[in-house]
Amino acid sequence: MNNFGIMSLSLDHENHYIHQIAKYGRDFGFTIYHFVPSTYHPFTHTVKGKQYMPDSDSWIEAEFPVPSILYDRCFYHDDSHSIQCKNIIQWLKKQPTITFLGNGLPNKWKLYQVLRESKLSAYIPETFLLQSANQINFQNLNPVIIKPINGSQGNGLYFIKKQNKDILVRTDKKEKTIEKIFSDQVTFNKWLNQLLKRNSYIMQAHLPLTNKEEQPFDIRAFMQKNPKEEWNVIEKGIRIGEKGRIISNLSAGASIIAFEDWFQTAPFPLKGFLKQEMEEILTLLPSILENSFSTLFELGVDIGISPNGSLWILDVNSKPGRKVIMTAYPHLCEKLYQAPILYAAKLADDKRRNRDEEAISYRNNL
């Protein structure tokens, strides 16, 4: 049996998803483990976590060597535990006996620097690395959006607008939108500079990505690489946020519908051309990213559409969630649970083949 490890920052994260993956392990010759990277012991090269027991469909606590194939589902923040886990994973990636399903993407700023020079540059909003409140010039950009370069799910995103002498700042929390008004530039600058001390941010012009009901919405395309190393668009779903919200993220209460259901009634001109552009984006994007960074296994691509039908790539995530696709297309759940195991089986077969070839080469050179 081959060993397949799934990593997260807590053994409580994504339990349902990880459990469903584990059910398919034995069918493809895998023992499945779930562990937190910070449990790694540098002297024994072991980790502590859980091992899946297929006969009882349950997990047991265990200490075990680091599995030879790893699936990274760690969502980092700026806390010390995240930094510790990230450093250990970076070290594991350098070990010749360990293979990752995908190596992940860098932060939003590094991603922007690559995409703005690519064939997809027309779909990338102009973006600035925000290092000081003095960089915001409301005469040139108003309103603006700022977001942390390492953020996900819309966390830490702020809408900022100059209104006469006042400066309005809004952010979405799970239950509601929080709003603060600064009556002068000095007070606003002090608040923003404090924020920038805690996290690195990027800044973009605010794009009017709402429907006729003034609800924010976007398209989530979910992509995966199959065992033949071919990228497939598994499906696309629409996230529709509540009226008055800034973002359409599920964490802010967005609803979900299937792409084709939405597209049939979408009020955009030249809808066929819009669909063609979307296909071009999703065809070109994986190779651009893999050529610039490293190998990937899956991608979540968020695309916004302005009222005139212009497409914008809003975010690209190498550790995408599955809720949009599973909610809109329940029949795809089994396929999504199997996909990491199928791709891991391909990687395990590649490793075995490479070992065999090295052994043959060694014998031939004796």
Instruction: Note the pLDDT tens digit of each residue in 6-39.
Output: 999 999 999 999 999 999 999 999 999 999 999 9
pTM of the entire structure?
Answer: 0.91
pLDDT attached to residue 69: 96
CATH code, residues 211-337: 3.30.470.20
Positions of the chain with pLDDT lower than 70, given as ranges: 153-154, 251-252, 355-366
Q: Where in the chain do CATH 3.40.50.20 domains reside?
A: 2-100
Q: What angle do CA 105, 107, 109 make, to 5 degrees?
A: 125
pLDDT attached to residue 247: 81
For residues 363 and 296, the answer to whether their CB atoms sit within 8 Å is: no
Asked if residue 143 has a cis previous peptide bond (ω within 30° of 0), the answer is yes
pLDDT attached to residue 93: 94
DSSP E strands, the chain: 2-7, 30-35, 46-53, 58-65, 69-72, 99-100, 127-130, 144-148, 158-163, 166-172, 177-182, 201-205, 217-225, 231-240, 255-258, 298-305, 311-317
Q: Dig out the tokens for 12 from the structure.
A: 């409580």
pLDDT attached to residue 340: 97
Q: Where in the chain do CATH 3.30.470.20 domains reside?
A: 211-337
What is the arrangement of strands in the sheet containing 298-305, beginning at the earlier edge strand?
A: 255-258, 231-240, 217-225, 298-305, 311-317
Q: What angle do CA 203, 208, 209 make, to 5 degrees?
A: 100
pLDDT attached to residue 360: 65
pLDDT attached to residue 309: 86
pLDDT attached to residue 76: 86
2-100 belongs to CATH 3.40.50.20: yes
Taking the C-alpha atoms of residue 24 and residue 19, their distance in angstroms, rounded to an integer, is 9
pLDDT attached to residue 258: 96
95 C-beta neighbours (distance < 10 Å), count = 11
First to last CA, the chain: 31
